[in-house]
Amino acid sequence: MSGATRVCIVGCGAVGSLFAAHLAQLDDVEVLAYDLSGDHVDAINRDGLRITGREELVGRVRASCDAASLPPCEYGIVATKGYATEPAIEATAHCFEEGWVASVQNGIGNEELLAAHVPRVILGTTFPAGHLVEPGVVAMDTGGETWFGPFAQDASMLPAVERLADLCTRSGMPAKALPDARGAQWNKLIFNAATNPLGALTGLSHGQVCEQPALRTLVSALIAEGMAVAAALGITLEGDPEELVDHAARVAYGHRASMLQDVAARRRTEIDSLNGGIAAFGRRCSVPTPLNDAIAALVRGLEVSYT
């Protein structure tokens, strides 16, 4: 594929697979994927990466478990769980010595880890979600937009950010480039921190959580804490988390949050990047976050119960 833009998806789970399969629809993009699941990688290389559910498509992606075999890439999109960010970028950093690396991960703190290993980092946040059906097959549960912006708040980086947003949009994953994407990131962070752990702790879908009055009240209280921390940091949110919660309850009533999927599979969750992240920034800004602290403690205790 001579002259194509080479994009490597680092972490080809549900969200990473959505980006990989869509970008692979473009004639001017070559898509590679790095993932530690040998079964998933083998299925992708054999049959292509299949997306079902909300959309139906197959993307031809060159996948590998061997980071050392990956060539230089113009862009990387990191879609691992937050706790896997550092080992994933340590393994793949050599691919991006001249490229750009974007995070589309949940929570906060991932970009700082990326910036310790690669020179050019793009802050990103995305709303499309899905789940792994079987190796090589991912169901797309929800759609939505993606926002990208320079992590270093450097206007000279914006053209590269705009190019990545254009690639994603043309592939069917609508994306916007912003001079400052922190407002979009925090909007989703607050939304996720207010809803995902409640689903994980109760076993309820997003819509079911929202139709329980006591739980919906707790959602609003968690949102209020997150908004107070964002305000103290001088961040203007890109939207209203309360509206986002109610919209998601209408259009994705039965969606099982990623944290609920993790708990059901007895996997480590991203609680430290979500409620734990809000609480950490709250302490830094002297903003109390007792509810986020409590939710984080409950989910961490649930993780301990696995063993």
The domains located in the chain, with CATH, are: 5-177 (3.40.50.720), 182-304 (1.10.1040.10)
Section 131-139 average pLDDT: 96
pTM of the model: 0.92
**Is the pLDDT assigned to residue 2 strictly greater than 70?**
no
Predicted pLDDT at 15? 96
Task: Write down the mean pLDDT value for the chain.
Answer: 96
Q: Please report which confidence band the pLDDT of residue 307 belongs to, taking 50, 70 and 90 as the band edges.
A: confident
Predicted pLDDT at 1? 55
Predicted pLDDT at 154? 82
**Is the pLDDT assigned to residue 304 strictly greater than 80?**
yes
Section 168-197 average pLDDT: 97
State the burial class of residue 133 (Cβ atoms within 10 Å of its Cβ: 0-12, 13-18, 19+).
middle
| Distance from the Cα of residue 207 to its chain's centroid | 21
Q: Which of 171, 179, 173 is nearest to 122 (CA)?
A: 179
Q: Please report which confidence band the pLDDT of residue 155 belongs to, taking 50, 70 and 90 as the band edges.
A: confident
Predicted pLDDT at 152? 85
Partners of 177 in beta bridges = 148
pLDDT in tens, 77-119: 999 999 999 999 999 999 999 999 999 999 999 999 999 999 9
**Is the pLDDT assigned to residue 234 strictly greater than 90?**
yes
